[in-house]
């Protein structure tokens, strides 16, 4: 079974650390949606989307990537890192349109550095 994780890790690098840890233990191709916005996913049996949560949404590069590149009827899993709370709605709307089957979700709490939570 061929697997990929499409990820965006632009703030603290937490999402990238998480997906690289997964890749060390599992046979999975990592695709950075910021650096590789156009990738053919048709040969993958299972596709993960991983992102930090930015103002209650997956990163825009992930949303755009999924809209453009995700083939219909794929098995999908979701991973998010967040400071406030996990939120999958933005990506799930796209997955519904693509008739994807979400087989699992994982959220990893970090720390919030936006708005009043910024300690700098």
CATH number at residue 12: 3.40.50.360
The confidence score (pLDDT) of residue 67 equals 97
The confidence score (pLDDT) of residue 110 equals 75
Question: What is the total count of domains within the chain?
Answer: 1
The confidence score (pLDDT) of residue 32 equals 97
The confidence score (pLDDT) of residue 95 equals 98
Report the candidate in 18, 3, 32 with the shortest Cα–Cα distance to residue 107.
18
- Tokens 């709490």 map to which residue? 109
Beta strands, E only, the chain: 3-8, 29-32, 46-54, 57-58, 75-82, 101-109
Provide the domain limits for residue 103: 3-112
- In this structure, is residue 118 part of a structural domain? no
- In this structure, is residue 120 part of a structural domain? no
pLDDT along the chain (120 residues), means of 10: 95 89 96 96 98 92 98 97 88 97 93 56
- In this structure, is residue 117 part of a structural domain? no
């Amino acid at each position: 079974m061929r697997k990929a994780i499409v990820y965006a890790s632009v703030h603290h690098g937490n999402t990238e650390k998480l997906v690289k840890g997964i890749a060390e233990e599992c046979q999975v191709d990592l695709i950075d949606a910021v650096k590789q916005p156009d990738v053919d996913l048709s040969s993958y049996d299972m596709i993960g989307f991983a992102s930090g949560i930015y103002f209650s949404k997956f990163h825009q590069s992930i949303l755009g990537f999924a809209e453009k590149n995700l083939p219909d009827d794929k098995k999908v899993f979701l991973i998010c890192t967040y400071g406030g709370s996990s939120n999958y709605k933005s990506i799930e709307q796209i997955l519904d349109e693509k008739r994807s089957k979400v087989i699992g979700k994982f959220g990893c709490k970090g720390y919030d550095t936006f708005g009043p939570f910024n300690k700098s």
